[in-house]
Amino acid sequence: MREVDICILGAGPGGATAALHLANAGKSCLLVDRATFPRDKICGDALSGKVVMELRRISADLPGKLAASPAQVPAWGIDFFAPNGRRLSIPFKPTTGGGTDVVGYVAKRLDFDNFLIEEVRRRPEIELLEDVDIVRHERTATGRWHLGTADESVEISARLLLVANGAQSAFARQVAGHALEPAHHCAGLRTYYQGVTGMNAENFIELHFLKDFLPGYLWIFPLPNGQANVGVGMLTEAVSSKKVNLREKLNEMLTTHSALKDRFAGAERLGPVRGFGLPLGSKRRALSGEGYMLLGDAGSLIDPFTGEGISHAMVSGRHAADWAAKALVANDVTPSFLRQYDAAVYRRLGQELRLSHTMQRLLNYPWLFNFVANRATNNPMLAATLSSMFVDLDLRERLRQPSFYLKLLFGGKVR
């Protein structure tokens, strides 16, 4: 039986970030993952400016290390394609200071997650257990969590549990009560291609809002060595109501759609098309309870419009580490104390998630989305707002102003 103050379930970006911030604060923790790293993770693989900023908050040298890695390509912007085919091209503006001028990257999760794990391995404050699948979690009469594997080869007693074990977290469902709700859940597919033509010379990521996938989109993200991450995400409720077979529809779009068929005619698919489900942050849920906090996908914090989850996992990991340390100092792991973690996360992400949910609902009206795309072409503020969803710009103050939305659509200066 390992007895620890803090146990973190899941060593993806959320869990690894929490462990590293705890180490920076001089706190030890046990980090447990059922996989052995490096391991694959089904994802779009885009790393936004928010990810870069969270890396910098862990250590000032991490963005530079990522920039030097051959496993990534720098992404300098986004190409949005409206349902009517109109392209809205939004270049990223470099951030000021901090060791990198690149706002975003694209890197396979196989490589990025291992990048963080290599940082974890350097820290003596963190004990990392790999290939350990925790299937039992019980709150004991002593006020601790008793965790264990099916064969009882690993048994853990923890005072505080940070749950970062992903979208399919049994703990989030069974203990925290996060039920799968089709209106707040996304079904997705991802595969890799070699030789897709027509990629942007500056590695812009592409989001294609095709009518067949609304509310949702098809993406094409550039990767090193001429590869591309290609996939589609669609609201689970819509997949069910429209009886869409995503695999068949994805293949159909890539081989027949006028904007895509020539680009994929000579491309080679690398490996299978793999599916995944994502609990979206379009509904605010409780992120903590008696002796636990939920991080990232386990806390249903995925952006409902962009599908971004990596930076949100890292943001929640940073705040979870902060409040875990405070809880130990205060000798208080009650729900009332840990709710301050919920408040901290939603102060940072809440407004953005609400805006993204509004944008997602807009996709139910292709004509309106076409109108917004057309307006954005001649409205620098609207274009900058869309860009800000992928970079580390603080929209919260502007989003609190009702006049912001009128100016967003119809122009005018914003102070």
Instruction: Convert the pLDDT of each residue in 304-332 to its tens digit.
Output: 988 999 999 999 999 999 999 999 999 99
* 96 domain residue, yes or no: no
For residue range 86-118, list pLDDT tens digits in order.
Answer: 888 878 765 444 444 567 899 999 999 999 999
Q: pLDDT tens, 21-72?
A: 999 999 999 999 999 999 999 999 999 888 999 999 999 999 999 999 999 9
- 340 part of a folded domain: yes
- Work out how many domains the chain is built from and give that number: 1
33 and 129 Cβ atoms separated by less than 8 Å: yes
How far apart (Å, rounded) are the C-alpha atoms in residues 44 and 42? 7
Q: What's the rounded mean pLDDT across residues 352-363?
A: 84
How many Cβ atoms from other residues are within 10 Å of residue 391's Cβ? 20
pLDDT confidence of residue 87: 87
Nearest C-alpha neighbor of 205 from the set 88, 116, 380: 88
What pLDDT is recorded for position 78?
Answer: 87
**pLDDT confidence of residue 239:** 95
Looking at the predicted structure, is the pLDDT value of residue 157 above 60? yes
Confidence of residue 415 (pLDDT cuts 50, 70, 90): very low
3-class DSSP assignment, residue 405:
helix
Mean pLDDT across the chain: 90
Kindly report the CATH number assigned to the domain that includes residue 313: 3.50.50.60
Residue range(s) defining the domain that contains residue 38:
2-42+108-179+283-354
What number is the average pLDDT over the span 135-149? 96
What pLDDT sits at residue 404?
62
| DSSP label of 321 | H
Tell me the average pLDDT across 222-236. Answer: 96
Q: Is the peptide bond before 182 cis (omega within 30 degrees of 0)?
A: no
Distance CA(209)–CA(211), nearest Å, equals 7
More confident residue, 130 or 352: 130
Does residue 237 lie within any of the structural domains?
no
**What local confidence, expressed as pLDDT, does residue 99 receive?**
44
Is 261 domain-assigned?
Answer: no
> Does residue 270 belong to any structural domain of this protein?
no
The answer to whether residue 370 is domain-embedded is no
Mean pLDDT computed over 365-370: 76
Confidence at residue 206, expressed as pLDDT on a 0 to 100 scale: 95
Tell me whether residue 312 is in a domain: yes
- Closest by CA to 278, choosing from 384, 356, 390, is 356
Q: Give the per-residue pLDDT at 363.
A: 79
